[in-house]
Chain A
Amino acid sequence: MPKKYGFVQELIKNRTLFLMLLPVLAYFLVNNYVPMVGIYYAFVRFDFNTPLFRMDFIGLKNFEFLWRSGKLTELTYNTIGYNLIFIGLGNALSVTVAILVSEVKSKWFKKITQSVLFLPYFVSFVILSVIVFNIFNFEHGVLNTVLKALGADPVDVYSKPKVWILLIVVFYLWKSFGYSMVIYLAAITGIGEDYYEAAKIDGANTFQRAWHITLPMLKNTFVILLLFSLGTIMKGQFDLFYQMVGNNGLLYSTTDILDTYVYRSLKVTFDMGMATAAGVYQSLFGFTLIMVVNGIIRKINKEYALF
């Protein structure tokens, strides 16, 4: 930047552009910033008869229920653990498959593969839970029917918490990797053909081309997807866990995440204050995480950072 403008100068110079920006600013202001006033609910005793800023200030008391049952560490641990696996495996899988699909020459095969992999994304978690129940149900499930037919002992999957780590990851990937794969595929299509041509002339094989051209070119997409998913880590995938595990307390040790815990707690209490407290905790956590990771990325390579 050769010369620094004052804000007023800037405003006059680009008035048309600023005018065009107004609706967007108003949108974010009204929908995203003004509601933040409600954060204050987390620190007051909620009362139907008093306006927000006159309610009794009670400090951190609304946050108490989060650690009261002594599960906060386990929950945070589960939440982060699952999301790291989701992000890691999910991205690895979608990049790999996207590269494989992009290498296929047959248009027809390409289209079919994309659609088939993308379709599960539209299956609702409620339906997924019914499918899962019908597979693993102890008495009438597909799995046990097959086991019994083979003369083996039936297994009660719904009482084995460890198995659910695997199941949840598998079903998450089944449902969601098609989506990010399509994004990667689009990014790959955007890479100029000339790179590959040049590599071919230099004698690079398919694997080398993918490793030295495609992967580095996808880094930007990967970083953006990563940052987006980090921000929602604390809220991520509520439906998946809630629908698959439901009321089954036996499985909570490995499948309870912060969101399902908060949801259950707030079903039994009335308090807006506690609900807000939970939301604030999640948002703060997500905010810190995204700031830290973005900071690290900016340190390494400024170009890739979100801001």
Chain B
Amino acid sequence: MKHTIRAWRTGVVAAAVLLLAACQGHGSGDASLPSPSASSAFTHPDANGGRSADDRSEHVDLQFYMLGSAPPDMPRIQSAINEMTEAELNASVTFNFIAWTDYDLKYKQLLSSGQSVDLLFTADWAQYQTYAKRGAFLPLDDLLPAASPALQRFVPQETWDAVRIDGHIYTVPSTFKEYVTGGFVWREDLREKYGLPKPVDIATFEAYLAGIKRHEPDMQPVAIGAEVQNALAFSQLDVTRHSIGSMPYGLLATYANPADVRSYWGSPEQLADLKLFKRWSDLGYFSKNELNTSEFNQDRIIDGSAAAMFGDNLIRYNEALNNMQAAHPDWRLGYYPFPMAKGYATPVHPTHNGFAIPKSAKHPERALAFYEKLVTDERYNRLTEYGIEGVNYTIEDGYYRMIGDTSTNGFPREAMNGWAWRNPEYMLFAPSYDEIRSTFRELDRIQKPDIYTGFAEDDTAYQAEKAALDQVQKLYLYPLLAGLVDDVDAGLATFMKEAKEAGLDKVQAAYKKQWLAYLKERGIAGS
């Protein structure tokens, strides 16, 4: 018996070795791909077999990946799209969705597992720059003119240039200009009722929160959520300290003086901010258990359990307002954008919404040709942004009108999260968007370019330190931010000690070096 098992084991090992060799053989096939940096005449072997363009004689299925969840009517939209793509591109498209929960992890799996993905949503907040720098996407510079000339012309040259990483284009950026900036959100009806000040800075915001606490003791004055770093520290850095962007590793550079980058962590400014948050916590402006809440801040506004948010963007605010008023028509919200308090506004960077072709794509040229249709062809564009006209929406006086409401409509406005392929010429807006548009116009008057988001960090040299730092933040900084540490001075000292042990200095220095090099390369003056 024993003997048999041993013999079998030998067999298994031999088979494994054979298979392994087969895998390796396949792998080295991929190795013949030129690296992006050395690819002036780069063409993908699968798609065209050496020819200069995809002749579309072979039928292909494209795998399209978007963030979010599939709306109920997605199968109908998909088959309507496929009717057109079969006829025009000899291709079918499968729309896949990456759920919001832990999307960052799923992105990584999708990109490193070698699974075939033809089109993938990219965003600065979903690490477009890092993935591009690491070579996860195909460079599009040479593919674009061949596969999608109309798309190439449609996107302005400076927008293409803005998304370049190390000289190459890796994503097709959106051309819709919008502002995704922070802002104070509050219950306007309650503010009027109790005669509270309008929040335009930290002092007035605090006065509003105090008033809510006094008059509505059962309400939580401000919803923060478990991501305290975003909701408290980054908002405060933006509105009060005029940070150039949400820099990692506790670094801070101001918009006015980008080259002067220093450590916010451990500074007197941070200590003051932490004491501010501690005060809010002590006064009961937010829950002691904020770190364990799983509800969205917006939902807490909509159901009336919270009375303000510290930093939400205009479009999401508008969405929350609409949803809130659907349930409580007499409640109202107010909004004050942080840029008004700061005196300058940066329109969203082109990397904010885009679509890339991952290295694993089987049909990159057909994918681009399809994406071109999605952006520049009104039929494709309206169908995927608004659904089927007459079923999901109607157009009244040039305005978008949803049929039914969000619970009955199988494809509400932009239900596919089609932010990246919005085409300003075909866009439809609900009447409530007029308020956003007028705010955008006000912001236009104080606009300055976003000089932070184009920066691509290369963290290969300090990944272990980076991971360790994140642990230290969760362990020591989050409780400080959430106001759970009684002695703030001592708490900050402990955090700094642990952070330094985890390698803070090394990470900060490396990031700073890359940042300064970027400023120099882009010719951004460090005054």
Contacts and interface: CB of A to CB of B under 8 A. Distances in A.
Contacts of B502: 68-69
Contacts of B498: 69
Contacts of A81: none
Interface stretch (A107-115, A264-272, A282-290): A264-272
B1 A249 contact: no
B111 A37 contact: no
A51 B292 contact: no
A79 B215 CA distance: 47
B12 interface: yes
Contact of A29 (B15, B27, B284): B15
A220 interface: no
Given A4-B3, A48-B112, A246-B291, A71 B471 contact: yes
B465 interface: yes
Where chain B touches its partner, the secondary structure class is: helix
A158 B288 contact: yes
Contact of A65 (B30, B136, B463, B479): B463
Contacts of A159: 288, 484
Contacts of B131: 270
Nearest to A141: B289
B33 interface: yes
Contacts of A34: 16, 19-20, 23
Contact of A139 (B30, B288, B474): B288
Interface string A41-82: 000011111111110000001001100111100000000000
Interface stretch (A130-138, A173-181, A293-301): A130-138
Given A25-B12, A270-B127, A48 B135 contact: yes
B203 interface: no
A249 B292 contact: no
Contacts of A272: 108, 112
A222 B30 CA distance: 50
Contacts of A16: none
Interface in A227-278: 245-250, 252, 261, 264-272, 274
Contacts of A269: 459, 463, 466-467
Interface in A20-37: 25, 29, 33-34, 37
Nearest to B31: A51
B15 to A, nearest CB: 6
Contacts of A274: 463-464, 467
Nearest to A136: B289
Contacts of A103: none
Contacts of B472: 69
A261 B108 CA distance: 18
Contact of B464 (A7, A64, A261): A64
Interface residues of B, number: 65
Contacts, number: 160
Interface string B21-45: 0011001101101011000000000
A197 interface: no
A48 B466 contact: no
B4 interface: yes
B134 interface: yes
Contact of A10 (B4, B220, B484): B4
Contacts of A129: 294
Interface in B375-393: none
Interface string B117-132: 0000000000100110
B112 A250 contact: no
A248 B292 contact: yes
A70 B288 contact: no
Interface string A117-149: 000000000000110010011110000000000
B467 A270 contact: no
Given A34-B16, A133-B292, A268 B474 contact: no
Contact of B102 (A25, A137, A158, A267): A267
B130 A270 contact: yes
Interface in A172-212: none
Contacts of B471: 69, 71, 261, 264-265
Contacts of B408: none
A159 B480 CA distance: 12
B475 interface: yes
B468 A68 contact: yes
A9 B27 CA distance: 39
B105 A267 contact: yes
Interface string B451-468: 000000001100111111
Which of B127, B135, B226, B464 has the largest number of chain A CB atoms within 10 A?
B464
A49 B359 contact: yes
Which of B130, B467, B478 has the largest number of chain A CB atoms within 10 A?
B467
B46 interface: no
B289 A138 contact: yes
B478 A68 contact: no
B327 interface: no
A65 B465 CA distance: 7
Interface in A147-169: 156, 158-159
Contacts of A265: 467-468, 470-471
A116 interface: no
B293 interface: yes
B287 interface: yes
Contacts of B111: 48
Contact of B288 (A45, A53, A156, A261): A156
10 contacts: A7-B7, A51-B24, A52-B24, A54-B31, A133-B292, A247-B227, A264-B474, A268-B467, A270-B127, A272-B108
Interface of A: 1, 4-7, 10, 25, 29, 33-34, 37, 45-54, 61, 64-65, 68-71, 129-130, 133, 136-139, 156, 158-159, 245-250, 252, 261, 264-272, 274
Interface of B: 1, 3-4, 7, 12, 15-16, 19-20, 23-24, 27-28, 30-31, 33, 35-36, 102, 104-105, 108, 111-112, 127, 130-131, 134-136, 220, 226-228, 284, 287-289, 291-294, 359, 459-460, 463-468, 470-472, 474-479, 484, 498, 501-503
Given A1-B1, A37-B23, 8 more contacts: A47-B135, A68-B467, A69-B471, A247-B478, A268-B467, A269-B459, A269-B467, A274-B464
Closest 8 A/B residue pairs (Cβ): A51-B27, A68-B468, A7-B7, A265-B467, A65-B464, A69-B468, A64-B464, A138-B288
